[in-house]
A and B are shown apart, each in its own frame.
Chain A
Amino acid sequence: MTDTVTATLPIDLGSGPFAVTTRGLARRFGSVRALDGLDLQVPEGAVYVLVGPNGAGKSTLIRTLMGLVRYQAGAVSVLGRDPGDRGAEVRSGIGYVPEDYRVGYAWMTVGRLLEHQAVYHPSWDAEYARELRARYDIDPGRKCHTLSKGQSRRVQLVLALAHRPPLLLLDEPTDGLDHVVRDETLSILSEHLADSPTTVVISTHRVYEVEPLVDHVGVLSEGRLLGQLPRDELRGGLLRYWADVPEGWTGPGELGGRVVRRSGAARAIEWTVWGDRDAVTRGLSQAGAAVREVAPLSVDEAAVALLSGRKAS
């Protein structure tokens, strides 16, 4: 028995400084509103994960920040510039792993592609590029069109990281990689964060993988944010309450929090609530529920709770 309630978490991260902001960002493709009044705020130095179902607008958003998709309404600032009219400038400061696997030109060798990038980016760190290439076991003699998905992904990660850009936009960065290479990528990203001052935006369906790296979370649905907040605030404020309740219990009149999701059986409830832990526990207890456990949610669980609440509305 699961019953869901609409709820939106906070989306205002305050006054910054921000590496990336959008205000009222909108983009339609035909009748589809891919981005529908989106207010993104990515603080400088944050590792921000963008979560949402297929079609929520994650890739469109990232491509808009890159200046690869034109927006139709609103405002965008990426590293202080508008990618709408200064796309090339904006892109030179970004390490980008696109959703698409294809890299370079079919006939080009990987080694030539890396040299090409080194010329384009004055901040290219050749030694770091060599180190990454070795860790990823990339053969520079391979032609781009002969690369598998996983091999392309590794090349794309080297291209994104080796110029140590102030901003990384990673669209499903571990997609197509096997377990060992995925794990190596997480280790590389940890070291990269320790060595270079960087803001990171990661869009992924495998949130559990990057969760230990992440300090900000944005949940996207139908081109809008359902919540945008620091990971610690999500952990502290969105909690799951397990309680035993009397037969026919109808719930408290006043809870001191916002119920995001209700589920459970007749005499035992499992509620996901956004609010102050003590106030919610008191509210449940006063209404006759015996609270057994209160626990934080993983980012994955939080996203599922928020998105399923949305679906039912």
Chain B
Amino acid sequence: MKIRLSHADGRPLYVQIMDAVRSGLVRGTLRPQDPLPSVRDLSSSLRVNPRTVSQAYAALERDGVVQVRHGKGTFVAPGVRPEEKERPRLAREVARRALADASRSGLALPDLMTALRELDRDSHGDGRKEDGR
């Protein structure tokens, strides 16, 4: 599981970890029953407080995305349906950030929609471009 945290991001770190897990589910790099890294390993690789990782895992468990199996670790929940729940949720989050960014620049929704459609048309057939970032 690849996670990149941004400290300039307005989202708290535990939310960024939650979004990274959701994004893994949407892309298919994380599947039902897959193990997540241990709290110790993930906090060590991200250089964050282990409690932040625990907080993210606990919130994901409340949302039904992961299951904590005592003594075994944390796993993606067997019944998770990324297409129904995680995808729209992640899309809303990305849209919310885009809207906030637009508003900061003094732009309104129609400006943003027009630019998005044009960009999408320009890059047609290469829709995965954004993934390479």
Contacts and interface: CB of A to CB of B under 8 A. Distances in A.
Interface residues of B, number: 21
B12 interface: yes
Interface stretch (B28-36, B56-64, B98-106): B98-106
Interface in A143-199: 183, 186-187, 189-191, 193-195
Question: Which DSSP category, helix, strand, loop or mixed, fits chain B's interface?
Answer: helix
Contacts, number: 57
Contacts of A190: 40, 43-44, 46-50
Interface stretch (A7-15, A19-27, A292-300, A302-310): A292-300
Interface stretch (A34-42, A99-107, A211-219, A247-255): A211-219
B43 A292 contact: no
A185 B14 CA distance: 21
B117 interface: no
A132 to B, nearest CB: 14
Interface residues of A, number: 25
A186 B12 CA distance: 19
A213 B48 contact: yes
Given A47-B49, A212-B52, A242-B104, A194 B7 contact: no
A120 interface: no
Interface string A232-246: 100100000010100
A208 interface: yes
Contacts of A293: 100, 103-104
Q: Which of A194, A211, A293, A298 has the most CB of B within 10 A?
A: A194
**3 cross-chain pairs, A with B, having the tightest CB-CB distances, nearest first:** A194-B40, A186-B47, A194-B50
Interface of A: 47, 183, 186-187, 189-191, 193-195, 208, 211-215, 232, 235, 242, 244, 292-293, 295-296, 298
19 contacts: A47-B49, A187-B47, A190-B47, A190-B49, A190-B50, A191-B40, A191-B43, A193-B49, A193-B51, A194-B39, A194-B43, A194-B44, A212-B13, A212-B47, A212-B48, A213-B49, A215-B49, A292-B106, A295-B10
